[in-house]
Amino acid sequence: MSDSTLRVRLRAIKGGLARILSRLNPWRPARLGPRYTGTVNSLIAVYQADPDSRFHQCRHSTRGNYRSLMRRIAADCGEMKIRKLHARDMLRLHEQWTAGGHVPMGHALVGMFRTLVSFGAGMLEDKACTELSAVLHRMRFKVGRPRTEHLTADHAEALRARARKAGMRSIALAQALQFDLMLRQKDVIGEWTPVGEPIASDVVEAGRKWIRSMRWEEVDSAFILRHITSKKLKPVDVPLLLAPMVVDELCRIARVTNVKKLKRSRFPTKGPIVVCESTGRPWRPSEFRRNWRELARACDIPDYVKSMDSRAGGISEATDAGADLELVRHAATHSDISMTQRYSRNAVEKTAEVMRKRAQHRAKRKPKGKIDRLLSAKIVALKPTRRKRKKQAVDKLMSAKIVAMKPAKGRQRRASRPKARREKAHAA
């Protein structure tokens, strides 16, 4: 019997067993994959194989990140029993994971561990996972510091010029879109995922497809971009003609010198907006970042400033210009205004400006010396209050009206004579 025939028969036997188990308990689908034995390794295996696991609902890139974290957890404590893990054990693991200053990695691994035991408590109904999940819920772990770097407008201008000079107009356009529109890199260049992902796409190559990016179909005749963001699937409507860098790149693509001559008919009707010049396809994220870094180094942009910092640079420029923080939050599609505050850099300059304004305000109110204080006190005492001035004005106005309405004495006597004559005639 050949190996292929054996594999076919084994699949048939496995399918038959699954149907039998499903008939025995129709509410719980049969699982013939790995079994949970109480160890961390078995929990990881079941979490990835269970059809009801939320792992299968995550995006392709998220699943790849989860697999990397689970491999690290399996290597460090995979053989340990869940029921033997307590709060102190989790603290020791966190110390091991954060050694050398890797605080963000330690926090990510703890978060992955929480996800695993939460799955075990809910889907597997395991008592040990339920107890450990409650323990982790009450524990607090150190969080890494948020990024403070941001790309400035001067950086963006220099990089765009360098990209055009190098024949990479697509990177210049992508940089303009990221900075002016405050969008994530994935919204501008998209991502490549396996063909099996549930999102449809008309750009397919070598078993992978391109999704979640801006397309020319989303730009109307008035150059208003209507896009659904990649992270939270939020709609965003942006007038591109109000973005100076984007307008400059579009004019260069259309070969016009005036924005008034910019017509929608000069651009494609459909397809990706940002396309790699060498392949004619959307950029691979790794290739885009590699070329972006080479251009950035040629512009003397520090290595700690990344392409992802373009979004923070646009938000910081908006807050520095005095834009209302709530409006900036809406433009950046943030759910919480605290996230917008995190993205807004230049904290030192903003704090210094507040302190300068407070000092100026205090200097205006504070008298310079003893004589000034006495004079200001006398002026305040002599100066009538606002309420008193208002009352005086009302009294003056009312008295003027009374005088105007009151008739003269002679006019009163003349007005009363006809009345007296009428009364006398009536009596007669």
Topology annotation, domain 153-348:
hpI Integrase; Chain A (1.10.443)
Position 343 scores a pLDDT of 79
pTM exceeding 0.85: no
Position 330 scores a pLDDT of 86
Position 340 scores a pLDDT of 81
Judged on CB neighbours under 10 Å (0-12, 13-18, 19+), 125 is exposed
In residues, how long is the chain?
A: 428
Judged on CB neighbours under 10 Å (0-12, 13-18, 19+), 299 is middle
Position 146 scores a pLDDT of 84
Q: For residues 146 and 342, what is the distance between their CA atoms, to the nearest angstrom? A: 8
Position 258 scores a pLDDT of 87
Position 18 scores a pLDDT of 62
How does pLDDT run along the chain (428 residues), one tens digit per residue?
566 667 657 766 766 766 665 555 555 554 557 899 999 999 999 999 999 999 999 999 999 999 999 999 999 999 999 999 999 999 999 999 999 999 999 999 999 999 999 999 999 999 999 999 999 999 999 988 888 898 999 999 999 999 999 999 999 999 999 999 999 999 999 999 999 888 889 999 989 999 989 999 999 999 999 999 998 889 999 999 999 999 999 999 999 998 999 999 999 999 999 999 999 999 999 999 999 999 999 999 999 999 999 999 999 999 888 888 888 888 888 888 887 877 777 766 766 777 677 677 767 765 555 555 555 555 555 555 566 666 777 677 767 656 566 555 555 555 555 656 666 666 65
Domain assignments of the chain as residue spans, ordered by start: 22-138, 153-348, 373-422
192: β partners: 210
CA distances from 379 to 120, 361, 371 (A): 77, 21, 12
